[in-house]
């Protein structure tokens, strides 16, 4: 497999948009975190490929359907389009926690799907999430785990047990700034 170059994988809820223990169930509830849309646009303007991998067990729980999920992603696309940007690939797991699927994080199925889609290895690819399961799935494919304190990130950090070499940032904008600075000197 080839090197993925400038690929970054993002979790959605708690990284790009506000999260809720009651789930994000509609486009109205899907509210971007401050600076997240602009951060993704900065990545795109710098030539990065942006993928999203998101657990969406609200579908299995009957809280919303795939049409509602697509409407949320359409809202994200519209907001990014205002900044001349777009997500390159998005994948989601609709299964619940009791499922035996391979796609639900902390299992690496969605990340493997992204690697297959782009035809590359995820070794060293930055994966930005707000939960331990995001980071565990990243480590499983050799990607570089990055935690943001937004969403469930502060709770995740407080619990400890992060994978070795996990970078921690306040939010997506700060993580993106670090990635862009590293790429500029790398």
What's the CATH number where 132 sits?
Answer: 3.40.50.1000
Confidence of residue 4 (pLDDT cuts 50, 70, 90): confident
pTM of the model: 0.96
What is the predicted pLDDT for the residue at 22?
94
- Compute the Cα dihedral for 172, 174, 178, 183 and give only its sign: positive
CB atoms within 10 A of CB 159: 10
The whole domain housing 129 covers 2-185
The angle at the Cα of 181, spanning 175 to 179, to the nearest 5 degrees, equals 35
Backbone angles phi, psi at 40, to 5 degrees: -65, -40
What is the predicted pLDDT for the residue at 186?
62
Q: Which residue has the higher pLDDT, 162 or 5?
A: 162
Concerning whether 13 is annotated as a catalytic residue, the answer is yes
The tally of domains found in the chain comes to 1
Concerning whether 171 is annotated as a catalytic residue, the answer is no
What is the predicted pLDDT for the residue at 185?
76
Q: Over the chain, what is the mean pLDDT? A: 95
Of residues 78, 166, 153, the one with CA closest to residue 127: 166
1 has a pLDDT exceeding 60: no
Q: Which of 3, 11, 19, 22 is an active site residue?
A: 11
Q: Once rounded to an integer, what is the mean pLDDT over residues 65-93?
A: 98
pLDDT digits (tens, 9 = 90+) for 80-111: 999 999 999 999 999 999 899 999 999 999 99
Q: Which of 3, 13, 19, 88 is an active site residue?
A: 13
């Amino acid at each position: 497999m080839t090197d993925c170059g400038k690929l970054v994988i993002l979790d959605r809820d708690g990284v790009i948009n506000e999260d809720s223990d009651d789930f994000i169930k509609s486009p109205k509830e899907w509210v971007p975190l401050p600076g997240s849309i602009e951060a993704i646009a900065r990545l795109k303007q710098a030539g990065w490929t942006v993928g999203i991998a998101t657990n969406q067990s609200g579908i299995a729980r009957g809280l919303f359907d795939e049409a509602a999920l697509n409407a949320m992603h359409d809202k994200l696309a519209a907001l990014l389009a205002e900044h001349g940007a777009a997500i390159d690939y998005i994948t989601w797991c609709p299964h619940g926690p009791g499922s035996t699927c391979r796609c639900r994080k902390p299992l690496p199925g969605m990340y493997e799907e992204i690697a297959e889609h782009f035809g590359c290895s995820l070794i060293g690819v930055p994966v930005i999430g707000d939960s331990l399961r995001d980071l565990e799935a990243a480590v499983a494919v050799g990607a570089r785990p990055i935690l943001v304190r937004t969403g469930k990130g502060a709770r995740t950090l407080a619990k400890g047990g992060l994978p070795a070499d996990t970078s921690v940032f306040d939010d997506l904008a700060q993580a993106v700034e670090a990635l862009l600075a590293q790429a500029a000197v790398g």
